[in-house]
Structure 1
Amino acid sequence: MRYRTLGNTGTVVSNLCLGTMTFGAETDEAGSFAQLDRFIEAGGTFIDTADVYSKGVSEEIVGRWLRDRPGMRDRVVIATKGRFPMGPGANDAGLSRVHLTRALDASLRRLGVEAVDLYQAHAWDPLTPLPETLRFFDDAVRAGKIRYAGVSNFTGWQLQKAALLSQHLNLTPIVTLQPQYNLLVREIEFEIVPVCENEGIGILPWSPLGGGWLTGKYRRDTPPTGATRLGENPDRGVEAYAGRNAQERTWQVIDAVRQVAEKRGVSMSAVALAWLADRPAVTSVILGARTTEQLDDNLTAADLLLHAEETRLLDEASAPLVADYPYGGPGVQQRSRELPGG
C-alpha cells in the first residue's frame, strides 16, 4: 500500500479507500467485517461510508466493527456523507443547517464515534445557499464533530464557488471531492480536475471500475446474466449494457486494459485501478466490493505502478470524445499560447 496526504492537509491516508456502499445490502455483516479486516491487513487506513447507504446500516456495521476492534479507531481515517433523504419529512434531506445537524449527529451515533475525520456533502443542493452549508462545516469543525470537510458530485463551477467562498469567508476549506472517475468516464478532466489541482483539493474517485466493465466481465453484444450487477437486474441491466455496448470506445478501452493486464500478469481490475490512482490530484481510489475475493483482487493494485508506455496506451484508448468548442475544435486554440522563440 502507498500513502498520500488527504488533499491539502497533513493527514495521511492509503492510496486505496474501502467504500462501504455494499455493506448491509449486497454484503452481510460477517462479510463486511471480513472486508474491513482484510483491508486493514493489507495496509489500508481509509474507510468511506454515508448515511444513505442501506439507510444507515452501513454506518452501523462500521461502528460495530470499530467497537469489536479496540484501538482500531486511532488507526483509520473515517469519512461519511450527508445530503440524501433519510426520512419522509421536508427537512430530512438537503444541505441545510437543520438537516445536516441532524444527519451528522445520527451518523456519529451509528458509527459510535465522537468525530468523523472527513464529513462530505453527498451532492449539490440547489435549495440551500452555499454559505449556509459552508458555515455548518466550519461550526462542526469548531465543535469537534468533524475534522475536515469535503463534497461529492459537484460540477466544476460549484466546486470552484465552494472553494472561493470558504476562502473569502475565512471558513473551513473544502479538502476533497468525490466524483465518478474511471477509464470510461474521464469528462471531469475538462473542468473539475483543474479546479482540484488549483485549489489543492484531493480527488476520491468512486466507481473506479466503471460498474464492472473494466474488470472484463462483459462481452461485446452479449447481454449480461447471473452474478453481476447488470445481470441481476435485467430491466436496468439491458438498458445500461446496451448504451455502453454501442460505443466503440468502450471496447477500445477494455481491449487496452486487457492487453496491459496480460502483459503484466495481473487482473484487469488492478490495471484500471493503478491507472486511476496515479492521475493528477487523485488522493485515494474508493473500492466497492461485494465479496472479500473481489476486494483481494482490487488490493493487488495498491503497489502496482504502470510503465510510461502502458499509461500512454490507456490514455489514448480512453481519451474523452470531444466534438467541438469549448473543449475541442477552436476551443483548443483559445486555451493555447507559447512564449516567443519556442
Structure 2
Amino acid sequence: METIDTADVYARGIAEKIVGRVLRGRRNVCVMTKVGLLKTPQAIVKSATLRGSIPALTGLRAAQAADRDYSSEYIKWAAENSLRRLSVDSVDTLLLHDIDAGSLKVGGFREAMENMQTRGLIRRWGAQVANVEAARAALTVPGLSVLQMPVNVTTGPLPRDIVVAAKTQGVNIVALAVLGDGRLLHDASAVFGDRSSAVAALVRDVLREDGVETALLGMSRYTHAYDNLAALRCGASAGEETNFEEFVRRYGKEKP
C-alpha cells in the first residue's frame, strides 16, 4: 500500500487540503499526518487559550523554533481540523510531530489518542521523533504503534534494542530523512551520476534495515517528485552496488 506523509503545519494546512483533493475516493493509500507543532496563528492562539496564557507568535517564520502542545485538548482540536482539511471522516495514522523524550514520558496526549481511536477517527497513532533517545521513550508508551524516525546512511543502523522492542510490541518503524533532507541526495548524485539512481540506492539501503517497514522520500520541489517517481520505476541495479559502497565510504557510516 502506498503511504503519503503530511502534517497540519506543512504550508500552514494547504498540504493537507491538496492531499485530500488528490486522494478523494481512493482507498489504497495510507495517509499519515502529524499534529503538535505550533506554526500557524490559529494553532498558537488555540494552544494559548487552552493554557490560559497570552499567545506568543513564535515559530511563524522558517528560522524560528516552534512551540509545541501535546495536551489531549490541543491534540483533539488539531486532529479534527486535519480531518476537515483532508476531507475525510478518519485517517489511517496520526503522529505527534517532533515530540521529545520528556513529553513522551509525560503522556498527556494519550487520552485524546485513545478516544479518537475508539471513535474511529484514527486507525492507529504514534510519534515522529528526531533522535534515538526519543525513539526509546516512544517505545515505552502503551498503545503507540507507529514510530517515525531518521534512518539513512549517516545515522548508521538502527540500535538493536529499538528494533527488538518495536518487533515485540508490534510497532511499525517508518524511516524519515532517507535523503537527508536533500543533502545526501546532492552528495549521492555526484557519485551515481544522476539523481534518480541516487534516490533508488538510498531508499534500497534504508529498506534493508531490520525493523524498517516504510521509507519516506520527501520532496520540496516538483523536480524532486519527478526524480522520486523515476527512481521508483527503475529501481537500483545490481551494478550500482559498487557506487553505493563508494558513497558510504565518503559520506556515511559503515555497516557492521
Q: TM-score range by the shorter chain?
A: 0.7 to 0.9
Residue 11 of structure 2 is aligned to residue 77 of structure 1: no
The partner residue of 2:154 within 175, 178, 184 is: 184
Name the structure 1 match of 2:210: 280
Separation of aligned partners in 1, 2:104 and 2:245: 43
Name the structure 1 match of 2:84: 109
Name the structure 2 match of 1:59: 16
Residue 216 of structure 2 is aligned to residue 304 of structure 1: no
Does the 8 A contact of 1:270 with 1:297 survive in 2? no
1:178-216 Cα offsets, whole Å, 9 max, x none, are: 112211233753654454344332222222111323333
Q: What pairs up with 1:200-239 in 2 under 5 angstroms? A: 200-216=170-186
Q: Which piece of structure 1 moves more, 206-215 or 187-196?
A: 187-196
Query: Cα RMSD over matched residues?
Result: 3.4
Residue 250 of structure 2 is aligned to residue 319 of structure 1: no
Does the 8 A contact of 1:181 with 1:206 survive in 2? yes
Q: CA 1:310/1:197 → structure 2, altered by over 3 Å: closer, same or farther?
A: farther
- Secondary structure of 1:208's counterpart equals coil
Separation of aligned partners in 2, 1:65 and 1:207: 24
**TM-score w.r.t. structure 2 length?**
0.73
Q: What pairs up with 1:121-270 in 2 under 5 angstroms? A: 121-124=96-99, 126=102, 130-153=106-129, 155-156=131-132, 158-166=134-142, 173-186=143-156, 188-189=158-159, 192-216=162-186, 254=188, 261=192, 267-270=197-200
Greater gyration radius? 1
**TM-score w.r.t. structure 1 length?**
0.57
How many pairs were matched up? 229
TM-aligned CA deviation for residue 319 of structure 1: 2.0
TM-aligned CA deviation for residue 123 of structure 1: 2.5
Q: CA 1:83/1:276 → structure 2, altered by over 3 Å: closer, same or farther?
A: same
Instruction: State the one-letter code of the partner of 1:58.
Output: A
Gaps of 5+ in 1: 1-12, 14-44, 167-172, 219-253, 322-342
Pick 1 or 2: higher relative contact order, CA cutoff 8 A, min separation 6. Answer: 1
Does the 8 A contact of 2:179 with 2:218 survive in 1? no
- Secondary structure of 1:147's counterpart equals strand
Stretches (4+) displaced over 6 A = none
- Secondary structure of 1:272's counterpart equals helix
Instruction: State the one-letter code of the partner of 1:189.
Output: P
Does the 8 A contact of 2:7 with 2:33 survive in 1? yes
